[in-house]
Amino acid sequence: MARHLARIHGTEEDKVNCPFYFKIGACRHADRCSRIHHRPAFSQTILIKHVYRHPVREAELKAAREGRNVNPADVDEEEAREEFLVFFE
């Protein structure tokens, strides 16, 4: 049993530990993830949350503050692509 658990730890077969968090130190589900995130006491990697602001998400947040619905078509796709490329350049 212990050998089986050691073999599947951090893989998709592991139903207890999050394989994404195990591999890269981040999970898109964050605290809502149904699996366990083992956070190390120290790491060589720095995670800075919310550095890149997705244009569609920003439009949704702005619309919510103004009390209206957002139409994703309102976001200029070419401008969003350019901002993405500049950010990761």
**pLDDT tens across 5-19, in order?**
666 766 777 778 888
Question: Does residue 4 surpass a pLDDT of 70?
Answer: no
26 or 9, which is more confident: 26
pLDDT band (50, 70, 90) for residue 81: confident
Confidence label for 55 from pLDDT (cuts 50, 70 and 90): confident
Instruction: Give CA–CA dist 36/12, Å, rounded.
Output: 13
CB-count burial class (<10 Å; 0-12, 13-18, 19+) for 21? buried
Cα dihedral 67, 68, 70, 74 in deg (nearest 10): -110
Q: Reduced to 3 states, what is the DSSP secondary structure of residue 36?
A: strand
When mean pLDDT is compared across 10-14, 42-46, 56-60, 77-81, the lowest value belongs to 10-14
Q: What pLDDT was estimated at residue 29?
A: 87
